[in-house]
Amino acid sequence: MPALQAGVIDTAEWVGPWNNLAFGFYKVAKHYYGPGFHERSTCGELMIDLNAWNKLPKDLQNIVFTASLTTNSRMPSEYFAKNAGSLPVLLNEHNVQLHSFPDDVLRTMYSLSEDVVAETASEGEVNRRAHDSWSQFRHTSMEYQPLSDLGFTRNRALTLGT
């Protein structure tokens, strides 16, 4: 936020409407662009030293696992609900203007990000294997999208007239 206020940067990508509202981004940035292509949702992460993990009794491992799984499962739903409620506040109470990225900008951002991902994938066997696995999953999941999220969203919008 200080860099935006000082004019050091003129744009920022930050979580979503709920966090943007809470952090007061609307005070210095009156244009809201979205959605991007890069982040369907985020997830929390928990890192535990493997030696420390292995020293935990099974019941505590199960508690940590279940708590992490529950938190990571709930967070996208909570953010969806809070973002949906916060966007109208940004638009109607704080005069933020909503914009979509032009198609050519999205394609350029995607192309540039693919270059970075490919470079990272080339930096070792583990990176390559992770990239290959991720790429295959992305391809498979995108083939399913017309019957999943995209299809549902299209049909819901059609039936609600939005």
With DSSP H G I counted as helix, E B as strand and the rest as coil, what are the percentages for the chain, rounded to 5?
A: 70, 5, 30
Comparing 76 with 61, the larger pLDDT belongs to 61
- Does residue 49 have a pLDDT over 90? yes
Amino acid at 131: H
Residue 41: the pLDDT is: 67
Domain ranges of the chain: 1-101, 102-162
Question: Which of 116, 117, 111 is CA-nearest to residue 130?
Answer: 117
C-alpha span between 58 and 53 (Å, rounded) = 10
Tokens 């979205």 belong to residue: 34
Output the pTM of the full model. Answer: 0.78
Residue 161: the pLDDT is: 85
Within 10 A of 16 (CB to CB), how many other CB atoms are there?
Answer: 20
- Does residue 42 have a pLDDT over 90? no
Tokens 């919008």 belong to residue: 157
